[in-house]
């Protein structure tokens, strides 16, 4: 893993090169509250997709919140679009790709996306 201090120790970097390297610094994991919110949103998203595909209004999705305490990295922003692209509107796909294109400082990324 590249750490911020590793980048700071390199003296001959241009500002642009430093910014590119800073994007590779792995941010700290978010809070358990962020993970829980993400699980709720994922479950709602999955239930919405399943309901739309099956023509059934009632779909039940169970979420094991207790398991979140045992997972090292609890949030995976890639799960939604890649698993259900056929059920996405053009607007949803554009919004998803716009989020992925955002260049955010690692220390503000979670707060901005939240």
Could you tell me which of 100, 79, 96 has the C-alpha nearest to residue 88?
96
Q: Output the pLDDT for position 76.
A: 56
Compare 86 and 5 and report the one with higher pLDDT: 5
Exposed, middle or buried by CB within 10 Å (0-12, 13-18, 19+), for 5?
exposed
Q: Are residues 84 and 37 in the same domain?
A: yes
- Count of structural domains within the chain: 2
Any residues with CB less than 8 A from the CB of 24 and at least 6 apart, and which? 2
Q: Which domain holds residue 90?
A: 31-113
Q: What confidence score (pLDDT) does residue 113 get? A: 66
The confidence score (pLDDT) of residue 81 equals 47
**14 plus 63 within the same structural domain:** no
Predicted confidence (pLDDT) at residue 78 exceeds the cutoff of 60: no
Question: For position 14, what pLDDT does the model report?
Answer: 92
> pLDDT for 3-36, tens place per residue?
888 888 888 989 999 888 888 887 777 777 877 8
User: What are the tens digits of pLDDT across the range 88-103?
Assistant: 778 877 887 787 777 7
Give Cα separations from 62 to 11, 20, 72, 75 (angstroms): 51, 40, 21, 17
Q: What is the mean pLDDT of residues 33-44?
A: 80
Q: Does 67 lie in the same domain as 18? A: no
Same domain, 15 and 59: no
Q: Of the candidates 53, 51, 61, 45, which has an alpha carbon nearest to the alpha carbon of residue 86?
A: 53
Report percent pLDDT > 90 for the chain.
1
> Is there a contact between 7 and 22 (Cβ–Cβ < 8 Å)?
yes
> Cα–Cα–Cα angle for 64, 68, 72, nearest 5°?
145
> Among 26, 114, 33, which residue's Cα sits nearest to residue 68?
33
């Amino acid at each position: 893993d590249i750490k911020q201090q590793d980048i700071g120790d390199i003296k001959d970097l241009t500002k642009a090169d430093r910014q590119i390297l800073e994007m590779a610094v792995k941010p700290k994991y978010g809070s358990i509250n962020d993970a829980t919110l993400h699980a709720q949103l994922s479950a709602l998203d999955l239930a919405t997709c399943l309901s739309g595909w099956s023509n059934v209004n009632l779909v039940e999705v169970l979420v094991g919140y207790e398991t979140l305490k045992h997972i090292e990295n609890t949030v995976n922003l890639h799960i939604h679009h890649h698993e259900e692209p056929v059920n996405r509107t053009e607007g949803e796909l554009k919004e998803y790709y716009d989020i992925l294109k955002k260049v955010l400082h690692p220390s503000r990324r979670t707060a901005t996306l939240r």
